[in-house]
Structure 1
Amino acid sequence: MTTTMVSSAGAATGGPSYRILLIEDDPGDALLVEELLHDTGLRFELTTCATLADASSTLSSGVTDCILLDLHLPDASGTSAVTAVRALAPHTAVIVLTGLSEAQAGTDAMAAGAQDYLVKGKVEAELLHRTVRYAVYRSETERAGIEAQAARLRAEENARLERGLLPPPILDASSVRVTTRYLPGTAMALLGGDFLDVVEGDDGLLHAVVGDVSGHGPDAAALGVCLRIAWRSLVLGGHRGEDLLGLMERILVAERVSPSQFATCTLLTLDQNVSTATLHLAGHHEPLLTTTEGTREPTAAHGIALGIVPGLRRWPATVTPLPPGGALTLYTDGLTEGHNGNSGRRLGVDGLLALIEALPPADPAAHIDQLITQTHTLNAGRHTDDLAVLRLDWGTHRHGHPAAEQRLG
């Protein structure tokens, strides 16, 4: 394998530089191609390999803009050589070099995936210049089209997941204001494994859930959608408390892709008639209770996460008295697991409460947005987890219309 760095004298200053790989086992033909490239005026870096095996190593170790491929190599020939090179570099321009007697070979090579072909002995510098430039352009356009299609498919998939993970609350007569926020922790993802929902039941009570499926990515998101839909269906069917969590666990065990996958969640039932909130914690932390005296974490009994020990069914209930007006904020640990500035420590609940104490008064939506911004600023772009926040406000909105604000951050 040989590499030649070239900036042709005729090349326009600041023009594109092409990384070209020539796969040619005949040293004489290889030298002729290099001389022609010098005459094109292109700025280029040329690497020459005599076999497909050597080319494979070169392609795996760096970026190549254009491949000039001889169809008669010691370890590959004909359209099979084109197919092999395209498999190694699917988004790189391939120009085939054919012999004078191979009239059909170039056409067959293009049908197999090459961008163009040149006939040895009939190639001039101007033709090579134009062929390389156009082949690279067509390859880049093809790659951009593929990436755009992949982005569209990803957006469509995330839209379906969004509808599953972030449904509109079902509020009939309730005057409780519902505000939600959702932020995935995985790069290039719109959604993760966290889920939330709010439903007003036929009993007049407001039921809410926030959950977190272990792991990240599409498997976690899919299981989160499944559990969220199951929760809503079961609540509307009249299931409550331990019975509800037991059924959700059975569904999780049946649907999870790995025996190690589990989920944590908080169930909350808000009864404004008697001013209480009933909590069931399945491996999840307590919500935050905001009153005129400030924000605190109410004490609640803890139960085991869903799927850890299937069938154990240990999810005790905690009934928390509520003031006439206030707010409950349910959230996943993406809000507290980030770093607390440069201290090297996690923010934690205490740090979160300190942030809330320092925030200026604001409406629920602005308050949550400010809180998320503050936690992300402290974390300074380090480890992030999926984040779901669900806030329920009552009392001050009692005489207004029910309100719901939901956002994918």
Structure 2
Amino acid sequence: MGNERALRILLVEDEQTDAELIRRTLQRRFSIPFELVHAPDLATARQLVDTASPDLIVLDLSLPDSSGLDTFRCLHEAVADTPIVVLSGYDDEDVAADAVALGAQDYLVKSSLDAHVLTRALRFAIERAKRQALERDLEHVRNQVELMRTVQERLFPPSPLHVAGYEIAGAVHSAEAASGDYFDFIRIPDGSVGLVVGDVSGHGLGSSLLMAETHAYLQALADACTPVDEILSRCNRFIYRDCPEDHFVTLFFARLVPGQRHLEFAAAGHAAYRMGQDGCVHRLQATGLPLGLLENARIPSADAVELEPGEIVLIPTDGIQEARTSEEELFGLKRMWDVVHQCRHTPAMEIIQELCASARRFSHPRPPQDDMTAVIVKVLGDESKSATLR
């Protein structure tokens, strides 16, 4: 076992002869290095549980100060995670079944006990206890991830969003339980609305935590009514201080004014697209580096874009276009825009759902390798200008 300490076994047995026999048997036949501590009654065993910290307990149910399953219950409550192998002078199948149901790793009858049975039972008890501990740890992680997923979903805004002159929707489809992708609709105090799509490098729990941090920074900065370039530049400084070296955040931040067809944006390593009624697509290029790479990097604004009725603005993460088959063929930009063009007359949310579904069908049976996220803005006609943000 190298530098690992010997296995610590607590033997709870009132018969000194039986205790000595078990000790000698283990010394001769047990292949794992061990230390054996002996307790002649339950009270002593309870004390040794605290002082000796045993890795394994061999327990006689019939003791001077306790008997039957009450003996097991009392000790098991004190050491719920320590494996216990029960020894008994009674070959009672009902008691044996009850003991195992209560948490005993095994039930051994003294009259049929031999070296092979004893050592095998102890080895199996140790292995089962290790497996059960791993399962408990895994369940704990699952619960934490589920909690993170629930919290994360609450960060995403209700969708679709109705703004005068626009129909807007967004959605995240995670590759794992927690996502590193992010979208948001931010109500800015001057009456405008900010549209955000972000993608933290990688995916999973670590990326989702950085995403939540980015969400908090953007909400606070946008509330100060600063221009979009200042929002992203300041956010970059905050993210740089907290971001691990192997992580960064691409992010597109657009600002719309209800009733106007005027789009302002700044983009940190993240592109968006416009599609006209004729199907022609124009790329809205990134204006700066991803967040978290350089502390003092500035993310300037692009020239404002004047939108036309019938246009569709798509702000995706790369999980859609980079979906790929087992042969590494990419879904790609052309397929992405073919889907948008075919669905252009359907609601914005339906376009997003079909985009993600098409990418998954394309890569099937290969599971998604990255999160898929998009915000879609449909520019409405003049009749919609009287609508209000709600």
**TM-score interval w.r.t. the shorter chain?**
0.5 to 0.7
1:160 is matched with 151
1:78-89 pair list within 5 angstroms: 83-85=54-56
Partner of 2:204: 217
Which residue number in structure 2 is paired with residue 352 of structure 1?
A: 336
Q: Is the 8 A contact 2:160 2:168 kept in 1?
A: no
How many Å apart are 1:372 and its aligned residue?
0.8
Counterpart CA distance in 1 for 2:374 and 2:315 is 6
Q: Give the C-alpha shift of residue 284 in structure 1.
A: 1.0
Aligned to 2:60: 98
Q: Which amino acid aligns with 1:320?
A: V
> Match of 1:194?
181
**Letter matched to residue 196 of structure 2:** V
Letter paired with 2:93 = E
Q: Distance in 2 between matches of 1:99 and 1:301?
A: 73
Query: For the Cα contact (< 8 Å) 2:228–2:255, is it kept in 1?
Result: no
Structure 1 vs Structure 2: percent identity of aligned residues? 17
Alignment of 1:314-393 (within 5 A): 314-339=299-324, 341=325, 343-359=327-343, 361-380=345-364, 381-393=366-378
Matches within 5 A, 1:294-313: 294=279, 296-300=281-285, 302-313=287-298
2:266 corresponding residue in structure 1 = 280
User: Structure 2: which amino acid aligns with 1:259?
Assistant: E
Supply the distance in 1 between the matched residues of 2:201 and 2:277 (Cα, whole angstroms). 35
Q: TM-score, normalised by structure 1?
A: 0.65
- The question of 1:250 aligning with 2:212 is answered no
For 1:161, give the aligned amino acid: Q
- Range with bigger deviation, 205-214 or 104-113: 104-113
Once the 2 structures are TM-superposed, how far is the Cα of residue 170 of structure 1 from its aligned partner? 12
**Closer, same or farther in 2 for the Cα pair 1:237/1:378, shift >3 Å?**
same
Q: Cα distance, 1:172 vs. partner?
A: 9.3
- Cα gap change, 1:101 to 1:210, in 2 (>3 Å): closer
The alpha carbon displacement at 1:259 in A equals 3.1
Change (3 A) 1:200 1:50: same
Does structure 1 conserve the Cα–Cα contact (< 8 Å) formed by 2:273 and 2:284?
A: no
Q: Which of the numbers 35, 38, 41 marks the counterpart of 1:75?
A: 35
**Deviations along 1:117-139, whole A, 9 cap, x unmatched?**
6444x131524652465246999
Instruction: Using the TM superposition, give the Cα deviation of residue 391 of structure 1 relative to its aligned residue in structure 2, in angstroms.
Output: 1.6
RMSD (Å), alpha carbons: 4.3
Equivalent residues, number: 329
What is the aligned partner in structure 1 of residue 115 from structure 2? none
Secondary structure of the corresponding residue to residue 298 of structure 1: strand
Equivalent residue of 2:330, what SS?
coil
Partners of 1:244 and 1:228 lie apart in 2 by 12
Gaps of 5+ in 1: 1-22, 31-48, 54-73, 86-94, 405-409
Given residue 334 of structure 1, which amino acid in structure 2 is its aligned partner? G
Shift in Å, 1:281: 1.9
Q: Check conservation: 1:276, 1:322, Cα contact below 8 A.
A: yes
1:380-408, Cα deviation, whole Å (9 max, x unpaired):
2335212221122231571574588xxxx
- How far did residue 295 of structure 1 move? 5.7
For 2:333, the aligned partner's letter is V
Check 1:77–1:303 CA distance in 2 against 1; reply closer, same or farther (3 A cut): same
Following TM superposition, by how much is the alpha carbon of 1:299 offset from its aligned partner in structure 2, in angstroms?
4.6
TM-score by length of 2: 0.68
Indicate the residue corresponding to 1:291 in structure 2. Answer: 276
